[in-house]
A and B are shown apart, each in its own frame.
Chain A
Amino acid sequence: MKEIEYAAAHSVDEAVDLLAARGDKARVMAGGTDILVQLREGMRDADLIVDVKKIPEMMQFSYDPARGLHLGASVPCYKIYGDAKIAAAYSALADAARIIGGWQIQSRASIGGNLCNSSPAADSIPALIAHDAQCVIAGPSGRRTVAVADFCTAPGRNQLARGELLVSLHFPPVQPREGARYLRFIPRNEMDIAVVGVGAWLRLNDKAETIAAARVALAAVAPKPLAATEVGEWLVGKPATDATFSEAGARARKLAKPISDMRGPAEYRLHLVGVMTTRALAGAAERATSK
């Protein structure tokens, strides 16, 4: 790596000041599992690394069933799936955190970092969209909130303006008969980047027979993570059956816009969208009824 400076911020305000002083020559580092590789390979550039792991607000998380989950942006993945209550309440999030890289990566990498890296194939983002997570962003003008579904703008790009950083993610409280699942298709068993990823969430009615609400989001089949809003809307009022999930998969296929690349041809990805959406919805429904 070229010569670079390092500073650890101890508060969000200090991080904002450090970023303001250096403009686009400063880069935030949480787990470092993306940014260090990119700096070494020249894909991103910085003169100053701003380490945010000493900012308590970004490294803490708290769950209150009445208020939802407040997740610091830099909490490492292993702490998320390692918390039984959070893993049960926000199970697509835990599914994704469990399969980002391997154990060594999960010891350091964070969901906030995965989101800010903004790969269209990111595992956490369909899960975040499915759970209706909101981003809390801090910058020189103060704080603002953005839905995760609106956060990514292009491959590797997002809504963060110069000098801004992602501070935390907020997840709404969980209601009865909700379930969520994130599934990924990769050619090996672990450690691959998604060929297709699907995050699905639904809430069943009080008889657990009909879908009361649903969200589906797709990875790796568009220039950014794709909120399949029309699929979620179509699912409302439908019976929670395999036939419904299969039809939802067909509808998700119509929304996907995959390219052919080294991970697979576009036609194969479209096929996978149908299959994985069906399975993710079935998995979400099973979790919704098992609680």
Chain B
Amino acid sequence: MVKKSHVATTINGEAVEFLCEPRHSLLEVLRDTLHLTGAKEGCNNGNCGACTVILNGVPVNSCLVLGVEAEGSEITTIEGIASESHLHPLQQCFLEDAALQCGICTPGFIVAAKALLDRNPNPSEHDIRFELAGNLCRCTGYDKIIRAVQDAAAVLQENKS
């Protein structure tokens, strides 16, 4: 039997340590070991983006990162998007703009959209569609998701001024 590895990371700002086998993906570790079940398994092969987390500043499919690779990394999951006291504008706009139905793709979309707005606070519709192409939705037809991201971008710009 393969020995488990000890991994130390920072997740949503907190120091976290866990044990995992080399074959375990970061997604499996987040969900099954750390009980951070916000990231979802939609495809397990890097197509759907439902498992998106931010790893050292960039959005990744956590199904394609091994748990052992997270050593020394900084990770943000959907659980780290809201602040102590209120939802992030992305979350608020997704709710108000009805940008979700079943919700399974939503954590991945919000994390990816947050990474997008962090990098580009004023994306065009084309930018949003292009950069979020790695996130698939079966329910909404995407339009309300795109509008929610646009609205959140506007709210964030307004909050700054």
Contact = CB atoms under 8 A, between A and B. Distances in A.
Interface of A: 1-6, 31-33, 36-37, 40-41, 49, 51, 53, 78, 101-105, 107-108, 189-191
Contacts of B65: 32, 108
B93 interface: no
Closest 5 CB pairs of A and B: A102-B134, A190-B133, A6-B22, A107-B58, A1-B23
A137 B2 CA distance: 31
Contacts of B22: 4-6, 49
Interface in B97-134: 112, 115-116, 129-134
Nearest to B67: A6
Given A3-B21, A33-B46, A78-B58, A103 B131 contact: yes
Contacts of A6: 5, 22, 66, 68
Interface of B: 1-2, 5, 21-23, 25, 44-47, 49, 52, 55, 58-61, 64-66, 68-69, 112, 115-116, 129-135
Given A3-B2, A4-B22, A108 B130 contact: no
A29 B145 CA distance: 34
Given A2-B23, A5-B22, A33-B64, A104 B2 contact: no
B5 to A, nearest CB: 7
Nearest to A48: B22
Contact of B49 (A3, A78, A104): A104
B23 A105 contact: no
B133 A108 contact: no
The interface centre, meaning the residue of B5, B25, B45, B55 with most chain A CB atoms within 10 A of its CB, is B45
Contacts of A107: 55, 58-60
A4 B60 contact: no
Contacts of A4: 2, 22-23
Given A5-B22, A191-B134, A108 B47 contact: no
Given A4-B2, A103-B133, A107-B58, A37 B46 contact: yes
